[in-house]
């Protein structure tokens, strides 16, 4: 193990630090095949993990009736399954046939009925899970449709109210214009009546006629 005086670095999951003596830097290298690292950590805490490998060692699936399901990765552990061909079934039922070694174990059965019942329970669990997902999808789609329907209704209501207000304003404008025209017509008629009622004979004409009559009478 080499200790160096420098600022610690954040080592990403699936890697371990290695000090490059020639470049005087800390480098990240992937975890070995038998080990994994599921989280980030500081390089100065690496001495807790060991000098030549990542901190956590993978499982081996070496339990009774266990077989390897997946080899895992630099960030995940190996998963195992129970060998049904040898009448082994998981002690704890789960929604997946694969499991981590420390989470479950396999037990042997003397009857194939147990395996059949286990398979039926797995199918039932998967079916229930599918139904729950389907109901969730239906619920989400229903909520989206409800929101869209509400938006459409609000749009049509607003559009209808706007058209109604526009029609009301037009009718009001026509009514005001019609009232103005009637008042103007009434004023014209009143003025004409006043002119007819106040019409008289000019005074000069009447005086001239009287003078003529007087002259004719004296003669």
Question: Residue 43 contacts by C-beta under 8 Å, 6 or more apart in sequence?
Answer: 8, 9, 10, 11, 17, 26
Phi, psi of 66 (to 5 degrees): -90, 145
For residue 15, give the 3-state DSSP assignment.
Answer: strand
Give the model's confidence band at 200: pLDDT under 50 very low, under 70 low, under 90 confident, else very high.
very low
What are the tokens at 11? 């080592």
Is 60 exceeded by the pLDDT of residue 138? yes
* Of 5-9, 51-55, 122-126, 204-208, minimum mean pLDDT range: 204-208
Whole-prediction pTM value?
0.45
What is the Cα–Cα distance from 214 to 217, expressed in whole angstroms? 5
> In sequence order, what are the beta bridge partners of 79?
70, 100
Tell me what pLDDT residue 112 has. Answer: 53
Question: How much is the average pLDDT of 59-88?
Answer: 91
Instruction: In the chain, count H helices and then E strands.
Output: 2, 11
Q: Within 10 A of 176 (CB to CB), how many other CB atoms are there?
A: 10
């Amino acid at each position: 193990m080499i200790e160096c005086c420098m600022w610690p670095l954040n080592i990403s999951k699936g890697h371990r630090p290695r000090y490059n003596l020639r470049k005087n830097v800390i480098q990240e290298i992937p975890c070995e095949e038998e080990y994994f690292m599921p989280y980030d950590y500081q390089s100065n805490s690496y001495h807790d993990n060991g000098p030549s490998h990542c901190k956590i060692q993978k499982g081996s699936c070496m339990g009774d009736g266990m077989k390897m399901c997946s080899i895992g990765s630099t960030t995940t552990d190996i998963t195992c399954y129970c060998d049904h061909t040898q009448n082994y079934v998981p002690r704890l039922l789960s929604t997946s046939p694969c499991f981590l070694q420390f989470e479950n174990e396999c037990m042997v059965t003397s009857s194939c009925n147990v395996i059949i019942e286990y398979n039926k329970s797995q199918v039932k669990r998967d079916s229930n899970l599918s139904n729950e997902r389907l109901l969730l999808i239906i619920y989400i789609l229903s909520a989206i449709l409800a929101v869209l329907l509400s938006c459409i209704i609000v749009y049509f209501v607003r559009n209808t109210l706007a058209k109604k207000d526009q029609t009301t304003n037009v009718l009001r404008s026509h009514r005001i214009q019609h009232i103005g025209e009637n008042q103007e017509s009434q004023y014209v008629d009143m003025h004409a009546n006043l002119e007819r009622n106040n019409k008289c004979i000019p005074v000069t004409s009447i005086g001239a006629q009287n003078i003529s009559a007087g002259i004719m009478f004296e003669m």
